[in-house]
Amino acid sequence: MDNRSTDAEPSLADFQQVTQLIDGFWATQVLAVAVHLRIPEQLCDGPKSATEIAAFAQAHGPAVYRLLRALHTLGICRAVAEQRFELTPAGRLLRPNVPRSLSGRARFCGDMLWQQFGDLAYVVKTGNRTRVVDTGPDAFKKLSADPGRVESFQRAMAEGSVRTARDAVVHYDFSKFASVLDLGGGYGGVLSVLLKENPALTGAVCDLPYLEQPALRYLDDAGVGGRGRFEPADFFAAVPGPYDAYVLKFIIHDWDDEHCLKILRNVHCAASPTSTLILLEQVIPDELSTKATDQAVIRADLTMLTIGGRERTAAEYRELLAQGGWTLTQVIQISPEFSLLEAAKA
């Protein structure tokens, strides 16, 4: 074995790279707290003082000022006068209900994901799910007891679903379908985009019953309430249908093979002979690099490791789908990180 590369002395650039990786924790919490205090929303109409922001947030004024300085160094806001700050274009992405919003993601990463990754050593040593967040098959039902976390989680998922669906409609023709089910779709981020982009399409978002009212409000706010319904169901028990297309975004990666096969076979039972199954997932490349896109899919895989799921290669998806009664017909790269996997009944 050639050990020359491992024997080389680390450079200053190597030191700076590793330091930046280690120190990444602070930005996650700064952004999450900023969103929690609604700082981006407060600044969207113009500069405000730290005192004004603190009063609105019912927070400690001097501490808020120091947080704003941190946001300044991260490029989220900028100081325009003594203790007065304005929002930057990047900071606008932390407002809720705006195109490409990252508000929900910031809150989710600073709360649930923060706790999950804090337990990563235990997960890796034991192979078990994290102990700090309930992640079993009934976890999504139990989450209903915490409305704040429901909103944070579902907003984060909807934001990501909208972005992914917008990429999907550029690369795949959904107009060939008359009906679509956004299975496990939460508020219906995917469905909202598909209905907007295809005026003749009708469909539903399917999830646990407690999400019905917020999902219907979300679809109404998106302007597609007239063509979008809510179907309450537990996809481990049964799936409604038949629909021309069943779209599952970030669903299969949540689970081990046993639970995935329950979902896939339930969809198979509900689907018509001509129904199409569409998975929107991050596919692990056959060869990994240090590129940001490869880091993203492996970060997602470690996230799934903490809850008992996993990201998969195209070959692994092909095999899993076959066991569930489906034939993988094509894999389309729709963005640097996401792929659309199309399957037909075997």
Q: What is the pLDDT of residues 268-308, one digit of tens each?
A: 999 999 999 999 999 999 999 999 999 999 999 999 999 99
**Residue type for position 265:** R
**Sequence spans of domains, the chain:** 9-128, 134-345
Contact 219, 256 (CB under 8 A): no
Confidence at residue 34, expressed as pLDDT on a 0 to 100 scale: 97
Q: Is the pLDDT higher at 202 or at 81?
A: 202
The predicted-structure confidence for 170-194, as pLDDT tens digits, reads as follows 999 999 999 999 999 999 999 999 9
What does 235-276 look like in DSSP terms, one character per residue? TTT------SEEEEES-GGGS-HHHHHHHHHHHHHHS-TT-E
**Range 9-128 classified under CATH 1.20.120.530:** no
Indicate if 60 belongs to the active site: no
Name the pLDDT band for 5 (thresholds 50, 70, 90).
low
Helix, strand or coil for residue 37?
A: coil
Instruction: Determine which one of 36, 60, 171, 253 is catalytic.
Output: 253
Confidence at residue 3, expressed as pLDDT on a 0 to 100 scale: 42
CB-count burial class (<10 Å; 0-12, 13-18, 19+) for 67: buried
Confidence at residue 139, expressed as pLDDT on a 0 to 100 scale: 78
Q: Looking at the domain 134-345, which fold is it?
A: Rossmann fold (3.40.50)
What does residue 154 show for φ and ψ, rounded to 5 degrees? Answer: -70, -35
Is residue 7 predicted with pLDDT exceeding 90? no
Distance CA 293, CA 290 (A): 8
The predicted-structure confidence for 134-159, as pLDDT tens digits, reads as follows 777 777 878 888 888 888 889 999 99
pLDDT mean across residues, the chain = 94
